[in-house]
Structure 1
Amino acid sequence: MLRLRREHRIGPLRLAVRCRIAASTAHRILVRNGQPPLAALDRATGEPVRRYERARPGELVHIDVKKLGRIPDGGGHRVLGRAAGSPNKDRRNGAGYAYLHTALDDHTRLAYTEDLPDETAPTCAAFLTRATAWFASLGITVERVLTDNAWAYTKHTWSQTCRDLDIQPRWTRPWRPQTNGKVERFHRTLLEEWAYQKPYTSDRQRQEAFTDWLHWYNYHRPHTGISGQTPASRVTNLSGQHT
Protein backbone atom coordinates (compact mmCIF):
# COMPACT_ATOMS: atom_id res chain seq x y z
CA MET A 1 0.00 0.00 0.00
CA LEU A 2 2.80 2.42 0.83
CA ARG A 3 4.38 1.76 -2.56
CA LEU A 4 1.08 2.61 -4.26
CA ARG A 5 0.90 5.79 -2.23
CA ARG A 6 4.41 6.86 -3.25
CA GLU A 7 4.00 6.00 -6.92
CA HIS A 8 0.46 7.21 -7.55
CA ARG A 9 -0.09 9.75 -4.75
CA ILE A 10 -3.62 8.66 -4.00
CA GLY A 11 -5.60 8.93 -0.78
CA PRO A 12 -6.97 6.29 1.60
CA LEU A 13 -10.26 5.75 -0.25
CA ARG A 14 -8.59 4.83 -3.54
CA LEU A 15 -5.88 2.89 -1.75
CA ALA A 16 -8.54 0.91 0.10
CA VAL A 17 -10.21 -0.12 -3.18
CA ARG A 18 -6.94 -1.23 -4.73
CA CYS A 19 -5.79 -3.12 -1.64
CA ARG A 20 -9.24 -4.50 -0.82
CA ILE A 21 -9.25 -3.18 2.72
CA ALA A 22 -11.43 -0.73 4.62
CA ALA A 23 -10.75 2.97 4.07
CA SER A 24 -10.35 3.42 7.83
CA THR A 25 -7.67 0.74 7.83
CA ALA A 26 -5.85 2.43 4.94
CA HIS A 27 -5.99 5.72 6.82
CA ARG A 28 -4.54 4.16 9.98
CA ILE A 29 -1.70 2.59 8.01
CA LEU A 30 -0.83 5.93 6.42
CA VAL A 31 -0.87 7.71 9.78
CA ARG A 32 1.16 4.97 11.46
CA ASN A 33 3.83 5.29 8.76
CA GLY A 34 3.99 9.08 8.99
CA GLN A 35 2.39 9.80 5.61
CA PRO A 36 1.11 13.41 5.46
CA PRO A 37 -2.19 14.37 3.78
CA LEU A 38 -1.98 14.74 0.00
CA ALA A 39 -2.83 18.42 0.33
CA ALA A 40 0.45 18.89 2.19
CA LEU A 41 2.53 17.40 -0.64
CA ASP A 42 4.07 19.01 -3.71
CA ARG A 43 2.16 17.78 -6.77
CA ALA A 44 5.27 17.49 -8.91
CA THR A 45 7.66 15.79 -6.51
CA GLY A 46 5.51 14.25 -3.80
CA GLU A 47 7.68 15.95 -1.18
CA PRO A 48 6.13 17.80 1.79
CA VAL A 49 5.46 21.45 1.00
CA ARG A 50 7.65 23.80 2.97
CA ARG A 51 5.54 26.47 4.62
CA TYR A 52 7.16 29.84 4.94
CA GLU A 53 6.34 33.34 6.06
CA ARG A 54 8.23 36.50 5.24
CA ALA A 55 9.71 38.33 8.20
CA ARG A 56 8.25 41.79 7.58
CA PRO A 57 5.34 43.51 5.81
CA GLY A 58 6.02 44.30 2.16
CA GLU A 59 8.89 41.86 1.76
CA LEU A 60 6.72 39.77 -0.56
CA VAL A 61 3.25 40.45 -1.96
CA HIS A 62 1.33 37.68 -3.74
CA ILE A 63 -0.79 38.70 -6.73
CA ASP A 64 -3.44 36.68 -8.53
CA VAL A 65 -6.71 37.05 -10.41
CA LYS A 66 -9.96 35.22 -9.70
CA LYS A 67 -12.52 35.04 -12.50
CA LEU A 68 -16.10 35.25 -11.19
CA GLY A 69 -19.38 35.18 -13.09
CA ARG A 70 -21.40 38.35 -12.70
CA ILE A 71 -24.98 38.19 -11.43
CA PRO A 72 -27.70 39.43 -13.81
CA ASP A 73 -30.42 41.71 -12.47
CA GLY A 74 -33.03 39.56 -10.80
CA GLY A 75 -30.49 37.00 -9.68
CA GLY A 76 -28.74 33.92 -11.03
CA HIS A 77 -29.41 30.25 -10.40
CA ARG A 78 -28.91 30.65 -6.65
CA VAL A 79 -32.01 32.87 -6.57
CA LEU A 80 -34.02 31.61 -9.55
CA GLY A 81 -33.05 27.93 -9.49
CA ARG A 82 -30.82 26.16 -11.99
CA ALA A 83 -33.43 25.81 -14.72
CA ALA A 84 -34.49 29.44 -14.69
CA GLY A 85 -30.95 30.72 -14.20
CA SER A 86 -29.29 28.55 -16.85
CA PRO A 87 -29.46 31.17 -19.65
CA ASN A 88 -27.19 33.36 -17.55
CA LYS A 89 -24.40 30.83 -18.01
CA ASP A 90 -23.92 32.26 -21.51
CA ARG A 91 -21.39 34.87 -20.44
CA ARG A 92 -20.89 36.26 -23.95
CA ASN A 93 -24.51 37.34 -24.23
CA GLY A 94 -25.27 37.46 -20.53
CA ALA A 95 -23.86 39.26 -17.53
CA GLY A 96 -20.19 38.54 -18.24
CA TYR A 97 -17.33 38.04 -15.82
CA ALA A 98 -15.69 39.97 -13.02
CA TYR A 99 -11.91 39.72 -12.74
CA LEU A 100 -10.97 40.04 -9.08
CA HIS A 101 -7.36 41.19 -8.85
CA THR A 102 -5.83 40.71 -5.40
CA ALA A 103 -2.52 41.74 -3.83
CA LEU A 104 -1.93 39.95 -0.53
CA ASP A 105 0.98 40.65 1.82
CA ASP A 106 2.78 37.46 2.82
CA HIS A 107 3.64 38.50 6.40
CA THR A 108 0.42 40.21 7.49
CA ARG A 109 -2.12 38.63 5.07
CA LEU A 110 -3.51 42.12 4.41
CA ALA A 111 -5.43 42.03 1.13
CA TYR A 112 -6.20 44.65 -1.50
CA THR A 113 -8.75 43.59 -4.15
CA GLU A 114 -10.30 45.32 -7.14
CA ASP A 115 -13.10 44.18 -9.46
CA LEU A 116 -11.76 44.89 -12.96
CA PRO A 117 -13.11 44.19 -16.48
CA ASP A 118 -10.22 41.99 -17.71
CA GLU A 119 -6.76 40.62 -16.96
CA THR A 120 -4.77 42.21 -19.77
CA ALA A 121 -1.22 43.45 -19.27
CA PRO A 122 -2.18 47.16 -18.94
CA THR A 123 -4.94 46.32 -16.45
CA CYS A 124 -2.61 44.17 -14.33
CA ALA A 125 0.11 46.83 -14.37
CA ALA A 126 -2.30 49.61 -13.38
CA PHE A 127 -3.62 47.41 -10.57
CA LEU A 128 -0.09 46.92 -9.25
CA THR A 129 0.42 50.69 -9.16
CA ARG A 130 -2.74 51.24 -7.14
CA ALA A 131 -2.07 48.29 -4.84
CA THR A 132 1.43 49.60 -4.12
CA ALA A 133 -0.03 53.01 -3.26
CA TRP A 134 -2.59 51.37 -0.95
CA PHE A 135 0.08 49.46 0.94
CA ALA A 136 2.18 52.63 1.13
CA SER A 137 -0.76 54.44 2.75
CA LEU A 138 -0.52 51.85 5.54
CA GLY A 139 3.21 52.36 5.94
CA ILE A 140 4.16 49.25 3.95
CA THR A 141 6.75 49.40 1.18
CA VAL A 142 6.31 46.63 -1.38
CA GLU A 143 9.69 45.08 -2.16
CA ARG A 144 8.79 42.01 -4.24
CA VAL A 145 5.70 40.67 -5.98
CA LEU A 146 5.02 37.03 -6.80
CA THR A 147 2.70 36.02 -9.64
CA ASP A 148 2.07 32.97 -11.76
CA ASN A 149 3.24 32.83 -15.37
CA ALA A 150 0.06 34.18 -16.91
CA TRP A 151 0.54 36.12 -20.14
CA ALA A 152 0.02 39.57 -18.59
CA TYR A 153 2.78 39.06 -16.01
CA THR A 154 5.41 38.07 -18.56
CA LYS A 155 5.10 41.15 -20.77
CA HIS A 156 7.23 44.28 -20.88
CA THR A 157 4.38 46.34 -19.41
CA TRP A 158 4.55 44.37 -16.16
CA SER A 159 8.35 44.40 -15.92
CA GLN A 160 8.55 48.12 -16.66
CA THR A 161 5.91 48.94 -14.04
CA CYS A 162 7.86 46.92 -11.48
CA ARG A 163 11.01 48.87 -12.36
CA ASP A 164 9.17 52.19 -12.10
CA LEU A 165 7.89 51.20 -8.63
CA ASP A 166 11.27 49.77 -7.56
CA ILE A 167 9.71 46.34 -7.04
CA GLN A 168 11.39 43.02 -7.86
CA PRO A 169 9.06 40.72 -9.85
CA ARG A 170 9.08 37.00 -9.10
CA TRP A 171 7.19 34.17 -10.79
CA THR A 172 6.05 30.78 -9.53
CA ARG A 173 7.85 27.75 -10.89
CA PRO A 174 5.90 25.59 -13.37
CA TRP A 175 3.75 22.96 -11.62
CA ARG A 176 4.30 24.66 -8.28
CA PRO A 177 1.06 26.65 -7.77
CA GLN A 178 1.30 26.25 -4.00
CA THR A 179 4.09 28.85 -3.93
CA ASN A 180 1.36 31.42 -4.52
CA GLY A 181 -1.04 29.52 -2.30
CA LYS A 182 -1.69 32.30 0.20
CA VAL A 183 -3.51 34.49 -2.31
CA GLU A 184 -5.28 31.46 -3.81
CA ARG A 185 -6.47 30.52 -0.32
CA PHE A 186 -7.68 34.10 0.17
CA HIS A 187 -9.72 33.82 -3.01
CA ARG A 188 -11.36 30.64 -1.72
CA THR A 189 -12.23 32.46 1.50
CA LEU A 190 -13.56 35.39 -0.52
CA LEU A 191 -15.87 33.11 -2.50
CA GLU A 192 -17.12 31.24 0.57
CA GLU A 193 -17.64 34.22 2.86
CA TRP A 194 -18.69 36.91 0.39
CA ALA A 195 -19.43 35.90 -3.21
CA TYR A 196 -21.44 32.76 -2.37
CA GLN A 197 -22.41 33.72 1.17
CA LYS A 198 -26.01 34.46 0.23
CA PRO A 199 -28.22 34.52 -2.91
CA TYR A 200 -27.68 38.06 -4.19
CA THR A 201 -30.30 39.44 -6.57
CA SER A 202 -27.88 41.53 -8.64
CA ASP A 203 -24.19 42.03 -9.23
CA ARG A 204 -24.47 45.54 -7.77
CA GLN A 205 -25.88 44.14 -4.52
CA ARG A 206 -22.97 41.72 -4.24
CA GLN A 207 -20.43 44.45 -4.99
CA GLU A 208 -21.94 46.73 -2.35
CA ALA A 209 -21.36 44.00 0.23
CA PHE A 210 -17.71 43.59 -0.75
CA THR A 211 -16.26 46.73 0.83
CA ASP A 212 -17.59 45.80 4.26
CA TRP A 213 -16.45 42.20 3.88
CA LEU A 214 -12.90 43.17 2.91
CA HIS A 215 -12.66 45.62 5.83
CA TRP A 216 -13.86 42.87 8.16
CA TYR A 217 -11.29 40.44 6.72
CA ASN A 218 -8.41 42.88 7.15
CA TYR A 219 -9.32 44.35 10.54
CA HIS A 220 -11.61 41.99 12.45
CA ARG A 221 -11.53 38.41 11.14
CA PRO A 222 -9.21 36.07 13.10
CA HIS A 223 -6.86 34.43 10.58
CA THR A 224 -5.96 30.82 11.29
CA GLY A 225 -2.74 31.13 9.27
CA ILE A 226 -1.36 33.71 11.70
CA SER A 227 -2.48 32.13 14.98
CA GLY A 228 -5.86 33.83 15.13
CA GLN A 229 -4.52 37.35 14.75
CA THR A 230 -6.10 39.80 12.33
CA PRO A 231 -4.02 40.94 9.34
CA ALA A 232 -4.14 44.56 10.50
CA SER A 233 -2.78 43.65 13.93
CA ARG A 234 0.51 42.65 12.30
CA VAL A 235 1.13 46.16 11.00
CA THR A 236 2.71 48.52 13.50
CA ASN A 237 0.53 51.51 14.43
CA LEU A 238 -2.16 50.69 11.89
CA SER A 239 -5.45 52.26 12.90
CA GLY A 240 -8.91 51.03 12.00
CA GLN A 241 -9.07 47.76 13.92
CA HIS A 242 -11.98 49.03 15.99
CA THR A 243 -13.97 50.88 13.32
Structure 2
Amino acid sequence: MDKYRKLYNENLLGTSDVSILKFYYASFKIQQSKGKVSNVGSFLDECIKIAADTGKYFKVLGYLPFINSKYGTEQERISKFIKLRRKDIETLFMKNEITDKEIEDLLYGISQPSNGEPKTNDYYLEKIREKIIKCYSIKGKKQLGDRIFGYLLKSELLQAHTPEERLNTWYQFTGKDIVPSDTKLHANPRLNRSNVDSLTLIEHLESILDFYKEIDLEKAVDFIRKDIEKLSAKN
Protein backbone atom coordinates (compact mmCIF):
# COMPACT_ATOMS: atom_id res chain seq x y z
CA MET A 1 0.00 0.00 0.00
CA ASP A 2 2.84 2.38 0.80
CA LYS A 3 4.24 2.13 -2.72
CA TYR A 4 0.87 3.10 -4.21
CA ARG A 5 0.49 5.98 -1.77
CA LYS A 6 3.99 7.19 -2.70
CA LEU A 7 3.19 6.93 -6.42
CA TYR A 8 -0.09 8.77 -5.82
CA ASN A 9 1.60 11.66 -3.99
CA GLU A 10 4.44 11.96 -6.51
CA ASN A 11 2.01 12.36 -9.40
CA LEU A 12 -0.74 14.27 -7.63
CA LEU A 13 -0.48 17.40 -9.77
CA GLY A 14 1.40 15.95 -12.72
CA THR A 15 0.46 17.29 -16.14
CA SER A 16 2.38 14.91 -18.40
CA ASP A 17 0.51 11.99 -19.95
CA VAL A 18 2.74 9.50 -18.11
CA SER A 19 2.23 11.23 -14.76
CA ILE A 20 -1.55 11.40 -15.14
CA LEU A 21 -1.81 7.69 -15.97
CA LYS A 22 0.45 6.81 -13.01
CA PHE A 23 -1.80 8.91 -10.79
CA TYR A 24 -4.92 7.10 -12.01
CA TYR A 25 -3.19 3.74 -11.59
CA ALA A 26 -2.19 4.50 -7.99
CA SER A 27 -5.69 5.80 -7.25
CA PHE A 28 -7.23 2.59 -8.55
CA LYS A 29 -4.91 0.41 -6.48
CA ILE A 30 -5.61 2.38 -3.30
CA GLN A 31 -9.37 2.24 -3.82
CA GLN A 32 -9.20 -1.44 -4.71
CA SER A 33 -7.33 -2.25 -1.48
CA LYS A 34 -10.01 -0.44 0.53
CA GLY A 35 -12.82 -2.31 -1.20
CA LYS A 36 -14.21 0.85 -2.77
CA VAL A 37 -13.85 -0.48 -6.30
CA SER A 38 -13.13 -3.91 -7.74
CA ASN A 39 -13.88 -3.38 -11.41
CA VAL A 40 -11.18 -1.56 -13.36
CA GLY A 41 -13.67 -0.94 -16.16
CA SER A 42 -15.96 1.08 -13.90
CA PHE A 43 -12.98 3.03 -12.60
CA LEU A 44 -11.85 3.92 -16.13
CA ASP A 45 -15.40 4.98 -17.00
CA GLU A 46 -15.21 7.48 -14.16
CA CYS A 47 -11.72 8.58 -15.21
CA ILE A 48 -12.99 9.31 -18.71
CA LYS A 49 -15.87 11.37 -17.34
CA ILE A 50 -13.82 13.53 -15.02
CA ALA A 51 -10.88 13.86 -17.41
CA ALA A 52 -13.15 15.08 -20.19
CA ASP A 53 -14.68 17.75 -17.98
CA THR A 54 -12.48 20.83 -18.45
CA GLY A 55 -14.88 23.39 -17.03
CA LYS A 56 -14.91 22.54 -13.34
CA TYR A 57 -13.06 20.76 -10.54
CA PHE A 58 -13.12 17.00 -10.82
CA LYS A 59 -12.44 13.86 -8.85
CA VAL A 60 -12.67 10.08 -9.32
CA LEU A 61 -15.03 7.96 -7.23
CA GLY A 62 -14.83 10.35 -4.31
CA TYR A 63 -11.16 9.60 -3.75
CA LEU A 64 -9.16 11.75 -6.14
CA PRO A 65 -8.40 15.17 -4.69
CA PHE A 66 -9.73 18.28 -6.34
CA ILE A 67 -7.70 19.28 -9.38
CA ASN A 68 -7.86 22.81 -10.75
CA SER A 69 -9.37 23.17 -14.22
CA LYS A 70 -6.09 24.55 -15.61
CA TYR A 71 -5.14 20.91 -15.99
CA GLY A 72 -8.15 20.41 -18.25
CA THR A 73 -6.26 20.25 -21.55
CA GLU A 74 -4.03 17.41 -20.40
CA GLN A 75 -6.92 15.60 -18.74
CA GLU A 76 -9.07 15.86 -21.86
CA ARG A 77 -6.25 14.39 -23.95
CA ILE A 78 -5.91 11.46 -21.53
CA SER A 79 -9.67 10.93 -21.67
CA LYS A 80 -9.46 10.42 -25.43
CA PHE A 81 -6.47 8.12 -25.05
CA ILE A 82 -8.24 5.93 -22.46
CA LYS A 83 -11.15 5.52 -24.87
CA LEU A 84 -8.79 4.55 -27.69
CA ARG A 85 -6.65 2.06 -25.73
CA ARG A 86 -9.23 0.89 -23.20
CA LYS A 87 -8.35 -2.83 -23.22
CA ASP A 88 -4.62 -2.18 -22.97
CA ILE A 89 -5.04 0.22 -20.05
CA GLU A 90 -7.27 -2.24 -18.20
CA THR A 91 -4.54 -4.88 -18.59
CA LEU A 92 -1.90 -2.43 -17.36
CA PHE A 93 -3.91 -1.37 -14.31
CA MET A 94 -4.42 -4.98 -13.21
CA LYS A 95 -0.66 -5.40 -12.73
CA ASN A 96 0.75 -5.11 -9.22
CA GLU A 97 3.61 -2.95 -10.47
CA ILE A 98 4.13 -0.83 -13.58
CA THR A 99 7.12 1.01 -14.99
CA ASP A 100 7.47 4.30 -16.82
CA LYS A 101 8.59 2.34 -19.88
CA GLU A 102 5.38 0.32 -19.94
CA ILE A 103 3.34 3.51 -19.80
CA GLU A 104 5.49 5.23 -22.42
CA ASP A 105 5.21 2.22 -24.74
CA LEU A 106 1.46 2.35 -24.36
CA LEU A 107 1.29 6.11 -24.90
CA TYR A 108 3.86 6.51 -27.65
CA GLY A 109 4.15 3.04 -29.11
CA ILE A 110 2.83 2.21 -32.55
CA SER A 111 1.17 -1.14 -32.07
CA GLN A 112 -2.46 -1.62 -33.02
CA PRO A 113 -5.02 -1.74 -30.17
CA SER A 114 -5.17 -5.26 -28.74
CA ASN A 115 -8.86 -5.77 -29.52
CA GLY A 116 -7.88 -6.50 -33.14
CA GLU A 117 -10.47 -4.19 -34.66
CA PRO A 118 -9.69 -2.53 -38.02
CA LYS A 119 -7.76 0.72 -37.74
CA THR A 120 -9.98 3.78 -37.88
CA ASN A 121 -9.24 7.42 -38.66
CA ASP A 122 -9.40 8.12 -34.92
CA TYR A 123 -6.69 5.51 -34.38
CA TYR A 124 -4.42 7.11 -36.99
CA LEU A 125 -5.06 10.61 -35.66
CA GLU A 126 -4.26 9.62 -32.09
CA LYS A 127 -1.05 7.85 -33.09
CA ILE A 128 0.09 10.80 -35.21
CA ARG A 129 -0.74 13.31 -32.47
CA GLU A 130 1.26 11.25 -29.96
CA LYS A 131 4.21 11.11 -32.34
CA ILE A 132 4.18 14.88 -32.96
CA ILE A 133 4.01 15.63 -29.24
CA LYS A 134 6.90 13.24 -28.65
CA CYS A 135 8.94 14.99 -31.38
CA TYR A 136 8.32 18.34 -29.71
CA SER A 137 9.52 16.96 -26.39
CA ILE A 138 12.93 16.07 -27.87
CA LYS A 139 15.51 18.73 -28.68
CA GLY A 140 16.14 19.03 -32.41
CA LYS A 141 13.06 17.05 -33.48
CA LYS A 142 10.49 19.85 -33.90
CA GLN A 143 10.85 20.06 -37.69
CA LEU A 144 10.26 16.32 -37.82
CA GLY A 145 6.96 16.89 -36.04
CA ASP A 146 6.05 19.66 -38.49
CA ARG A 147 6.61 17.37 -41.46
CA ILE A 148 4.67 14.51 -39.88
CA PHE A 149 1.76 16.91 -39.54
CA GLY A 150 2.24 18.07 -43.13
CA TYR A 151 1.92 14.54 -44.47
CA LEU A 152 -1.15 14.03 -42.29
CA LEU A 153 -2.78 17.00 -44.05
CA LYS A 154 -1.62 15.74 -47.43
CA SER A 155 -3.30 12.40 -46.66
CA GLU A 156 -6.54 14.35 -46.06
CA LEU A 157 -7.42 12.80 -42.72
CA LEU A 158 -7.73 16.43 -41.65
CA GLN A 159 -8.87 19.15 -44.03
CA ALA A 160 -6.81 22.35 -44.14
CA HIS A 161 -5.64 24.17 -47.25
CA THR A 162 -4.74 27.81 -46.55
CA PRO A 163 -1.90 28.82 -44.18
CA GLU A 164 -4.45 30.07 -41.67
CA GLU A 165 -6.45 26.83 -41.83
CA ARG A 166 -3.32 24.74 -41.41
CA LEU A 167 -2.21 26.70 -38.36
CA ASN A 168 -5.67 26.57 -36.76
CA THR A 169 -5.87 22.84 -37.42
CA TRP A 170 -2.44 22.37 -35.85
CA TYR A 171 -3.56 23.99 -32.59
CA GLN A 172 -6.83 22.05 -32.56
CA PHE A 173 -4.93 18.83 -33.15
CA THR A 174 -1.90 19.20 -30.86
CA GLY A 175 -3.15 21.71 -28.29
CA LYS A 176 -2.59 25.43 -27.90
CA ASP A 177 0.63 25.04 -25.93
CA ILE A 178 2.66 23.61 -28.83
CA VAL A 179 3.77 26.27 -31.32
CA PRO A 180 4.98 24.85 -34.67
CA SER A 181 8.56 25.66 -35.59
CA ASP A 182 7.33 26.48 -39.10
CA THR A 183 3.91 28.16 -39.07
CA LYS A 184 3.40 27.49 -42.80
CA LEU A 185 3.26 23.74 -42.11
CA HIS A 186 3.69 22.61 -45.72
CA ALA A 187 3.66 18.90 -46.45
CA ASN A 188 6.15 19.37 -49.29
CA PRO A 189 9.64 19.08 -47.75
CA ARG A 190 11.03 21.53 -50.29
CA LEU A 191 8.71 24.22 -48.95
CA ASN A 192 9.15 23.57 -45.23
CA ARG A 193 11.72 25.63 -43.38
CA SER A 194 14.80 23.45 -42.98
CA ASN A 195 18.13 23.84 -41.25
CA VAL A 196 19.58 20.59 -42.63
CA ASP A 197 21.17 19.62 -45.93
CA SER A 198 19.33 17.53 -48.50
CA LEU A 199 20.94 14.23 -47.48
CA THR A 200 19.95 14.77 -43.85
CA LEU A 201 16.48 15.75 -45.00
CA ILE A 202 16.21 12.44 -46.83
CA GLU A 203 17.15 10.67 -43.59
CA HIS A 204 14.42 12.60 -41.79
CA LEU A 205 11.88 11.63 -44.43
CA GLU A 206 12.94 7.99 -44.16
CA SER A 207 12.31 8.19 -40.42
CA ILE A 208 8.85 9.65 -41.07
CA LEU A 209 8.27 6.96 -43.70
CA ASP A 210 9.06 4.25 -41.14
CA PHE A 211 6.56 5.77 -38.72
CA TYR A 212 3.74 5.91 -41.27
CA LYS A 213 4.54 2.39 -42.46
CA GLU A 214 4.34 1.09 -38.91
CA ILE A 215 0.91 2.59 -38.32
CA ASP A 216 -0.02 1.43 -41.84
CA LEU A 217 -1.23 4.74 -43.28
CA GLU A 218 -0.54 3.85 -46.91
CA LYS A 219 -1.62 7.17 -48.38
CA ALA A 220 1.05 9.02 -46.43
CA VAL A 221 3.60 6.31 -47.24
CA ASP A 222 3.07 6.83 -50.97
CA PHE A 223 3.54 10.60 -50.71
CA ILE A 224 6.73 10.29 -48.66
CA ARG A 225 8.25 7.69 -50.97
CA LYS A 226 7.72 9.97 -53.96
CA ASP A 227 9.31 12.91 -52.15
CA ILE A 228 12.32 10.80 -51.16
CA GLU A 229 12.72 9.69 -54.78
CA LYS A 230 12.63 13.29 -56.02
CA LEU A 231 15.22 14.44 -53.48
CA SER A 232 17.44 11.40 -54.08
CA ALA A 233 17.47 12.08 -57.83
CA LYS A 234 19.04 15.47 -57.17
CA ASN A 235 21.93 14.05 -55.11
TM over 0.5: no
Higher strand share: 1
Higher helix share: 2
TM-score (norm 1): 0.26
Q: Which has the higher contact order (CA 8 A, sep 6+)?
A: 1
Which has the greater radius of gyration?
Answer: 1
TM-score (norm 2): 0.27
